[in-house]
Chain A
Amino acid sequence: MIGIVAVSHSADLAEGILKLAEQMGQGKVPLAVAGGIDDPENPIGTDAMKILEAIQQVYSDDGVLVFMDMGSAILSTEMALDFLDDEQKKNVYLCEAPIVEGVMSAVSAISAGLSLKQVLQEARNSLQPKTNQLGIAPEQTEKPKAEKIDDSEAIKASFILKNTLGLHARPAARLVQLSGKFNANMHIRNQSKKTDLVDASSMNNILLLNARQHDEVEVEVFGNEAVQFFNEVEAEFLNHFGEPTQEFNPDKTPAVSTVNDLNNAVYTGLAVADGVAIGSVLRYELKLPEVSDTPIDDQNEEWIAFRNAIEASTRELETLAQESTRTIGKEEAGIFEAHKLLLSDVSLITKVEKLVFDESKSATFAWIHALKHIIQEYKSLGEHNVMAARVVDLIDIGLRVYNKLSDEPNQKYDAKKSGILVADDLVPSDIPNINPEQIKGIVCKRGSQTSHSAILARSLGIPVVFALGDIINELSETDLIAIDGSKATLFVNPNKSIIDELESAKTEWEAQAKKAQVSKLENAVTTDGVQVEVLANTANIDEIHQAIKQGAEGVGLFRSEFLYMKTQSLPDE
């Protein structure tokens, strides 16, 4: 984790900053201070050796940010750097931000999981809320323009995108992560679509290039570590981001209607989870809420509320990423990492910042407004499939943050009604919250059997059918629908005979399930009388309860390190 050092002439001031910051970072961010000198009569001053110790105390290869009060604090810090080896020195950054504001911003940015470059940026902008609050004219605080690239120094290259989905969320996230890792910058453009060069430290910038399979992408890398940065970027492109490269095949039209009339019609999709369900249509709608533009009292309060919501959402996503890495694999969990990056996306955050401070909008309004703006940009690219998935991602993070900001969390479906959930797409993060008592089954317009959502949906124990196509749009709340998960069929307003047939299938399925429920608690004995022990691989208490319910007799593999994953603190002895 990135560490912070505060250097002050005064030990009291340094300790005070430490206390403030610890409260803010909840003890997660490594902090050290170097304040005053060892002379009880004249304790005010700075000591390069103390600073060196403080840096070493919080040092990791993730980097260290040093904030200094002034004068000798700066000189002594620079002196201290002379005693670090070159490898370490390169990871220590002296930040010019005002010490109190800078440290506080950095702590919150680090706990939100931002990259070093982004943390520095946050710290540098840390005076902004105060400047705005005091109504100081913006030209006095204008941010320095981004460094111009010296053409002669930039490394330029073009790559043809080979992977099926082009520069979609995961590869974009990878590029953003790389750009945070090196002391270098990258500009990128889609040559095939003649876009402008954009800064590759923003995920939205990259996604909006709309770079697809076979498009030619041009990159320009510059800065101190341009070579190292470029090498990794090149490796990613050449390895097509570790993704499949078969030809991109736009949505197959999987749904097959066997009857012209909607009633009694049967449609086929992709089987995700077995079972039979009959029920009314329960619409699942993934859309951003309308937010009214209400006047606000205090821009700072709005901004802090927004930052806190982002931070809390980031932590949620971290937990989700960890859990799903464990349950369904690293590859699939990558989507949460991508969501995390979207939350720290500079172009998105800057939009919100502008709306809050320049236009005095509420945090909620600013967030939803900024998101809708970006979604509009995606939609204007016009192409359906891949971009639609990006919009789903944006709405998902949008609602996640919105629900932290709003007293009335957005409901994607009516939690009071029971029925079969009908959706275009299911957001993976919603699935763990679905209550199988209420939701009898799930049908989706899109989706694949191997998607993250499908894997999660299978664990619900209800029938699920994906990729039913346009019929999903035709369904209304008044329709009665039935699904047979094993056959991947959807029936709309089935007639009596179909219902009877399905009812009996359902009864049979339920009986089977019940039988399995009962027999699971019995001993597992082979037909020739050998008893087999049934053991569950578990990671935590919840899973153990679940395992006992499902008839486990003991624990097979127990990963003790997972016990600590959810806690914020280290275990004691």
Chain B
Amino acid sequence: MKKTQVLDWLYRTAAFMEENKTYLTKLDTAIGDADHGNNMHRGFSNVIEQLPKYEEKDIGSICKAVAMVLISKVGGASGPLYGTMFMQAANTVNGKEELSGDDLKKFLKAGLEGIIMRGKASVGDKTMVDAYTPALAAFSDSIENGDDISSALDKAVAASEEGMKSTIPLIAKKGRASYLGERSKDHQDPGATSLTLMLTAMRDASKA
């Protein structure tokens, strides 16, 4: 994955967040504080506004800049969560202009670890971790089996979507939704949804 594709990924993510702003907020209205769509949209519009300043830098520096914007601009819990994800992931790709399958595997792994460190969530808590964990596993398996990045990302997105849907019957254990207890059942988790959108954007960028 070239640096231009990484940048493309970020632009596509921003576009997704804009398109799905209402959808994400609707999901969050059911079980949260009705701000996830707005928050993600605000965060990523700020990211692409800042991006031209960093385009010349290496992938690690770009991702760090993204992290800083997100932690300051998102406003909700997803700010520090995605911020930490980008920050931790960025540390694995310092100085790089292109990512191999293995690099991307490490990048994604560090990102998940960042989210878990910050949010202390596990699989089954009805969070972005429910989508991210199977997605990373699928991606890693696929790369280890010798697939290229874009087919590995195909599998990751499929696993992420499945993980995202698996959050529907769950009772939330983290975040604002956890205040609802039983009533958080039968709703899809907004965080798992935005995470899936982000991976989808990455897959699309890898094919472009």
A residues touching B (Cβ–Cβ < 8 Å)?
Answer: 37, 39, 42, 44-50, 70-72, 75-76, 78-79, 82
Contact = CB atoms under 8 A, between A and B. Distances in A.
Contacts, number: 66
A79 B83 contact: yes
A45 B71 contact: no
Given A39-B42, A45-B35, A72 B83 contact: no
A49 B67 CA distance: 12
B135 to A, nearest CB: 22
29 contacts: A39-B73, A42-B35, A42-B38, A42-B75, A45-B39, A45-B74, A45-B75, A46-B76, A47-B71, A47-B72, A47-B73, A48-B80, A48-B83, A49-B68, A49-B71, A50-B72, A70-B176, A71-B77, A72-B77, A72-B78, A75-B77, A75-B81, A75-B118, A76-B79, A78-B118, A79-B71, A79-B83, A79-B118, A82-B87
B158 to A, nearest CB: 29
B71 A78 contact: no
A72 B79 contact: yes
Contacts of B119: 75
A71 B79 contact: no
Contacts of A82: 87
A265 to B, nearest CB: 79
Contacts of B77: 71-72, 75
A407 to B, nearest CB: 48
A39 B72 contact: no
B73 A37 contact: yes
A48 B118 contact: no
Given A45-B39, A79-B118, A39 B83 contact: no
B86 to A, nearest CB: 12
A42 B45 CA distance: 14
Interface of B: 33, 35, 38-39, 42, 68, 71-81, 83-84, 87, 118-119, 175-176
B72 A44 contact: no
A143 B68 CA distance: 39
Contacts of B33: 44, 71
Given A75-B118, A78-B118, A39 B80 contact: no
10 smallest A-B Cβ distances: which pairs? A45-B75, A72-B77, A75-B80, A79-B80, A37-B75, A48-B71, A49-B72, A72-B76, A76-B80, A75-B77
A37 to B, nearest CB: 4
Contacts of A39: 42, 73, 75
A46 B39 CA distance: 11
Contacts of A46: 75-76, 79
A70 B42 CA distance: 21
Contacts of A70: 176
A76 B84 CA distance: 10
A72 B80 contact: yes
A75 B75 CA distance: 11
B75 A71 contact: no
Nearest to A46: B75
B118 A72 contact: no
B111 to A, nearest CB: 15
Given A42-B35, A78-B80, A47 B118 contact: no
A44 B73 CA distance: 11
Nearest to B174: A71
Nearest to B46: A39
Contacts of B176: 70-71
Contacts of A48: 71-72, 79-80, 83
